[in-house]
Structure 1
Amino acid sequence: MSSIFGNLDDLFLFCLVVKFGSMQSASERLSLPIATASRRLTQLEKRLSLKLLERQGRVLQPTPSGLALYERLQPQFEGSELHLQEVLDSQHQVSGSLSLYVPIAFYSGHLAPVIEHFLLCYPDVRLQVHLAKENHIPQHERELVVGFVEPKMGDYIAKPYFFSDNGLYASRGYLVEYGTPTTPEALYQHHWLTHDGSRSLSLSVGDQAVELQLQPRMEVNDITSLVQSLKRGLGIGELPRHRADSEPELVEVLGEYRHGGRQAYLSYKRRQYQPKAMTLLIEALLAAQKSPH
């Protein structure tokens, strides 16, 4: 025999026979017919050119060569079974550390109860929540990202998560002072505020599409701060409709025009064996998935 390949299963069977002292007990452990187990051991002895077992009355006993082989192999098999079980248990055990990157507004307005419920259900899970103001790409295998960037490079999974439908908003006080724009081009005469650094604005109504390049009066990378600035009358800005609906001080302008909107994704690195905690968190986030209108 030049290799253990092709003999490992039969060697494990041999060790069980010696351990239990019975072909029947070993066969039952492996769910094998006794005739099959007996034939495989006979073939193993032929391949090894060794007599491994001999019958003494009703009991199968190892020969001296068989006993020497058993004493070498049995601890290895027991250790391998233990390690295999540990690996399997780790896949089913809900524990470990995870990271979640999510926009501040979406977390506080939607995901916070989902995350809190998840942690109450799985007390052995540790979770770092990063309230991201900028788009982030998953960096390691225990990291989840909710954001508006779909990873194109690398081995990532990006599931469409929600669609943000946007509108243009300003305070009533601002519109009284500066007037209400009635055409997209009129926005050039107004103060433009943005939370994502965008200078390009696409609007459409029917077959008409307009692309504007606006110079922001103010940029702030936090949508909550943008809302406060709009409410104070600093200008006009683009907001998700679900966010503006909770602000009675804000008024939509050019409401007949549609915006492209933004698609958000739930992204994470692909891996063959995913920790159970990671799988359950993904399932919880997807179960809570909805378009926040």
Structure 2
Amino acid sequence: MNSIFGNIDDLYLFFCVVEEGSLLAASKKLHLPPSTMSRRLSALESRLNLRLLEKQGRELVATQTGKETFQAIRSGMENLESSFTQIMTHSEEVAGSIRLAIPHNFYRAFVGDVVEDFVRQHPRVNVELALSQEHSMPETNRDLLMTFDLTGLDGMVARPLFRAQHGFFASPEYLDKVGPIDTLEQLQQLDWLSADRQRDMPVYQDDEFIQVLQIKPKLVINDINAIAGAVVRGLGIASLPYRHISKDMKVVQVLPQYHRSDKQAYLVYKERKYQPRALTLLVEALLEASAMLKYGKPVVQGD
């Protein structure tokens, strides 16, 4: 659309610079060189005979006139973005590649079934799964990460999946060796097995915070199923999710009135705007499957 403003997308460039907070951030969003954007913005200002942006340090910021212009066009630009996003969402072919990084136990719990159903329903989609406890930062809008730890993931979209409730478990053989455990101080001194390197473990009674245990893990394995196996074999005590405990496991819940803080799992990805339809559908499928999971307390031996 040509007018006194020039091409309408030059106005959109200006809109994005103000909305994103800098020329560099807007250029990354729009995948345009900063030099190209700067040239086109200067041309827009010349055509309008208005000063919309000015230097502040190393960044371009809106002048007072620019702020007023931004507010005047904001609603229209957002409506255009929303309309085109809806059109792209409904018309985009469900195809392409998706990369999903998840812990091993997530795959066995529910993700494997969801992904297999997904690729059957969408034969033009390729899914690459990376099974690992380590962070795999989403780098493109086709990357997904499942994690309990949001450290270093600022600026990402983090959708809650489920909360994992924990109890303290050990084998009868191990408890026979160490003797009765009646206090948190005794609990703290045991041989701890852990799926992470955490040393400070907040302990609760119901919803009330009691204290922080200072534990020293004897064995760290970044797989909760491996830790559960080590507990069964009598190597020590661990905080285990209730969903990993079944009646046929030879373990005992220690100090059942206490528990560590629940662990929140998240599905993490880059900003959803203009997200590929294949990724949108997989996100929805994973969230729906997670909502169906049961994470209640187990019926432990002796009940």
**Matching residue of 1:181:** 181
Q: Could you tell me how far 1:187 is from its partner in structure 2?
A: 1.8
Question: 2:234 maps to which residue?
Answer: 233
Whole-Å Cα distance in 1 between the matches of residues 135 and 247 of structure 2?
24
Alignment of 1:113 onto 2:101: no
| 1:146 matched residue in structure 2 | 146
Identify the residue that residue 283 of structure 1 maps to in structure 2: 284
Cα distance between partner residues in 2 of 1:292 and 1:113: 16
Q: CA deviation at 1:114?
A: 1.0
Query: Between Structure 1 and Structure 2, whose CA radius of gyration is higher?
Result: 1
Matched residue, 2:160: 160
**Structure 2: segments with no counterpart, 5+ residues:** 7-83, 296-303
1:63-115 residue CA offsets vs partner (Å, 9 max, x unmatched): xxxxxxxxxxxxxxxxxxxxx9xx95995201100011111112102221111
For residues 99 and 248 of structure 1, do their structure 2 counterparts lie closer, same or farther at Cα, with a shift above 3 Å needed? same
Structure 1 residue 208: deviation in Å?
6.4
Question: Contact 2:100–2:143 at 8 Å: present in 1 too?
Answer: yes
Question: Matched residue of 2:290: which SS?
Answer: coil
Q: Find the counterpart in structure 2 of residue 205 from structure 1.
A: 205
Measure the CA separation in 1 of the matches of 2:167 and 2:129.
29
Q: Distance in 1 between matches of 2:248 and 2:112?
A: 20
Q: Is the 8 A contact 2:141 2:276 kept in 1?
A: no
Counterpart in the other structure of 1:5:
3
2:232/2:249 contact within 8 Å kept = no
RMSD: 2.8
Structure 1 pair 140/88, CA: closer, same or farther in 2 (3 Å)? Answer: closer
Q: 1:93 to 1:208 in 2, by over 3 A?
A: closer
Q: Distance in 1 between matches of 2:184 and 2:128?
A: 42
Per-residue deviation, 1:292: 4.1
1:18-97 pair list within 5 angstroms: 88=88, 92-97=92-97
Instruction: Give the Å deviation of 1:147.
Output: 0.7
Matched-pair identity in %: 33
Q: Normalising by the residue count of structure 2, what TM-score does the alignment of the two structures yield? A: 0.64
SS in 2 for 1:112: helix
Distance 1:135 1:245, change over 3 A: farther
Q: Confirm or deny: 8 A CA contact 1:104 1:133 kept in the other structure.
A: yes
Q: Do the aligned partners of 1:91 and 1:273 also contact (CA within 8 Å) in 2?
A: no
Q: What is the match of residue 14 of structure 1?
A: none
Question: Measured at CA, do residues 91 and 138 of structure 1 come closer, stay the same or move farther in structure 2, by a change above 3 Å?
Answer: farther
CA distance in 2, matches of 1:144, 1:265: 10
- With over 3 angstroms needed to count, the CA separation of the structure-2 counterparts of 1:135 and 1:182, relative to structure 1, is farther
- The Cα of 1:179 is off from its aligned counterpart by 2.1
Partner of residue 265, structure 1: 266
Secondary structure of the residue aligned to 1:100 is strand
Question: SS where residue 99 of structure 1 aligns?
Answer: strand
The 3 A distance-change label for structure 1 pair 188 and 282 is closer
- Per-residue CA shift, 1:185-233, capped at 9, x if unaligned? 1024321111111111221236561211111111111112111111110
Amino acid at match of 1:189: Q
CA distance in 1, matches of 2:288, 2:188: 42
Name the structure 2 match of 1:250: 251
- TM-aligned CA deviation for residue 5 of structure 1: 3.1
In structure 2, the residue matched to 1:61 is: none
> What residue number does 2:35 align with?
none
**Deviations 1:44-80, CA, capped at 9 Å, x for gaps:** xxxxxxxxxxxxxxxxxxxxxxxxxxxxxxxxxxxxx
Instruction: Tell me the equivalent position of 1:216.
Output: 217
Q: Distance in 2 between matches of 1:258 and 1:225?
A: 20
Gaps of 5+ in 1: 9-83
CA displacement 1:111-145 (0-9 Å, x = unmatched): 21111111110111100111121244322211111
Q: What is the match of residue 195 of structure 1?
A: 195
| Separation in structure 2 between the aligned mates of residue 197 and residue 247 of structure 1, nearest angstrom | 29
CA apart distance, 1:180: 3.5
Which stretch has the larger CA shift, 88-97 or 281-290?
88-97
The change in CA–CA distance for 1:169 and 1:153 in structure 2 (over 3 A counts) is closer
The alpha-carbon distance between structure 1 residues 156 and 208, as it changes in their structure 2 partners (threshold 3 A), is closer
- CA distance 1:208–1:96, shift in 2 (3 Å): closer
Provide the rounded CA distance (Å) in 1 between the counterparts of 2:284 and 2:117: 13
